[in-house]
Amino acid sequence: MSLANIFPLLFINQEVGNVPYVVDNGAGMFCQDPREAARQVARWFTTETDELTRYSGNALKLAQPEAVFDIVRDIHKLQPQPAALTRIPYSLTSPFSYHI
């Protein structure tokens, strides 16, 4: 999970492993029912705007907008060096090659 924005998170029966972190830090809520999630979003934008502001502020404190780039760098480091077969010219392996 990458907290890359300032909006509170509302989990609906997925990403369960991230729920305690977000909820315990006051940056979002968990709803098991999609209808309840829709009602909560409606409340945030009508009667519970202070709560929305609080959740948004907490989400901003947790935000790690560079996290996605860190993940990509870590994955790239795990990739083995190119094998000999990957150095075969495309023209020798493609059915779209022109034979001259």
- Flag whether 3 is in a domain: no
Q: Which residue has the tokens 């934008």?
A: 45
What total number of domains does the chain contain?
Answer: 1
45 falls within a domain: yes
What value, to the nearest 5°, has the Cα angle with vertex 77 and ends 75 and 81? 115
**In-domain check, residue 69:** yes
Q: Is residue 72 a part of any domain in this protein? A: yes
Report yes or no on 47 lying in a domain.
yes
Q: For the segment 17-33, what is each residue's pLDDT rounded down to a tens digit?
A: 788 888 999 998 988 88
**pLDDT of amino acid 78:** 84
For 35-79, how does the pLDDT look when each residue is reduced to its tens digit (9 = 90+)? 999 999 999 999 999 999 999 999 999 888 888 888 888 888 887
Going by C-alpha positions, the residue among 32, 30, 18 that lies closest to residue 62 is 18
Domain residues for the domain of 41 are 9-77
Q: What is the pLDDT of residue 38?
A: 93
CA–CA separation, 42 and 17 (whole Å): 26
Q: Does a structural domain hold residue 43?
A: yes
* Residue 62, in any domain of the structure: yes
* Contact assessment for residue 94 and residue 40, using Cβ atoms and an 8 Å cutoff: no
Task: Indicate whether 4 belongs to any domain.
Answer: no
**Backbone phi and psi for residue 29, each to the nearest 5 degrees, phi listed first:** -135, 165
> For position 19, what pLDDT does the model report?
86
pLDDT at 95: 64
pLDDT for the residue numbered 64: 84
